[in-house]
Amino acid sequence: MAGTVSLLYACGGGGGGGDGSATTVAASVPIVVTTANAPDVAGAAVDVSTNTAGQGVSGVLTASVGRNQPADTRLTDALIQSIRLAPRLLDNRTGGITAAAVTRFSNVPCDSGTFSGSINDADNNQDLSTGDSFIITTSNCNFSGTVMNGNMSIDNLVISGGFFNDIAPYSFSARLQATNLSMTSAGSTLLMNGDMTLSESTSDGVTVTSGFSGNGIEIVTGDDTLKLLGYTLDEIENGSTGAYTFSLSGTISSTKIGGSITVATDVAFSGVGDLDPVAGQATCTGAGNTSVTLIANADGTTVQLLVDTNGDGTNDDTLTSTWASL
């Protein structure tokens, strides 16, 4: 889903708690799209997609169960893989689990700092399953040079089939909520607040459908604050050929572009593997119905930007750019 996340950012991106529940994320004022700022609106956040890949919420969980997260891992895939590793947290619990009881864990080893939390094994099967939930709290927890602070909770867990072992058929969904969840690595800090719901399913282990949605999530980097509100990202990927399609919608706020944009997919994007899309179209709409429409060209390298500067629904200018520059 690298293309999905990058495109969502491209349409407007760049950009301590108690129980792990998410803080409220609010939208900024919509900006007027012009010919001058259209390239920025359409390409301000490649740096943010790079900074968030394999980090954020996912890194906390993968590090806690002894698995490093590759720097180029796609965000949604990383989050889902992290939850697959979550049963190992049960091995770190501080006491036996009793029926429908909340059990705390506190001996997850950090190089320094603390990593603690609780697991509600609602059905007392001593494994993560439908209806269970857990909360993680970190305080200056250093895992191999990555320092984590803040809180994360996972609930609304619904699982069937062989999800944890990645054996088809299976289906999975869960809600993640972050409160001042930060990660600092190599002098760069990423901060996350808000909520997201993840889902993944497959009937044959080849074609996998996944989703990433939520009311609002905020991602803060060294040079921008990115907010996604009322967002939905859906992807279908063929594990044999690498072919993918995805669509997205939502409101994106960015301090880099000075406001917010609403993005909608007009034609689902498609491509193969980690390559950029070769087809698809999305429209980013700002104040007064002004907009810039991104069209993926068949060469997989260039894109067209159609700019409507007065909001009348007619293209007033056409620009050419590349996925690399976005």
What is the reported pLDDT for 81?
Answer: 65
Contacts of 258 (CB under 8 A, 6+ apart): 31
- DSSP letters spanning 290-308: -EEEEEE-TTSSEEEEEEE
Contacts of 170 (CB under 8 A, 6+ apart): 159, 160, 161, 162, 163, 200, 201, 202
What is the reported pLDDT for 90?
Answer: 59
Mean pLDDT per 10-residue interval, the chain, length 326 residues: 47 46 74 91 48 36 39 53 65 50 66 84 84 88 82 92 91 91 77 88 95 85 80 89 89 87 90 89 93 93 95 96 85
Give CA torsion, residues 53, 56, 57, 59, to 10 deg: 70
What is the reported pLDDT for 77?
Answer: 65
* Burial (CB count <10 Å: 0-12, 13-18, 19+), residue 232: middle
What is the reported pLDDT for 10?
Answer: 57
* Burial (CB count <10 Å: 0-12, 13-18, 19+), residue 49: buried
What does pTM read for this prediction? Answer: 0.79
Q: Would you tell me how many other CB atoms lie within 10 Å of the CB of residue 125?
A: 10
What is the reported pLDDT for 50?
Answer: 36
Contacts of 95 (CB under 8 A, 6+ apart): 103, 104
What is the reported pLDDT for 76?
Answer: 60
Query: Does a cis peptide bond (omega within 30 degrees of 0) precede residue 169?
Result: yes
Side chain identity, residue 204 = D
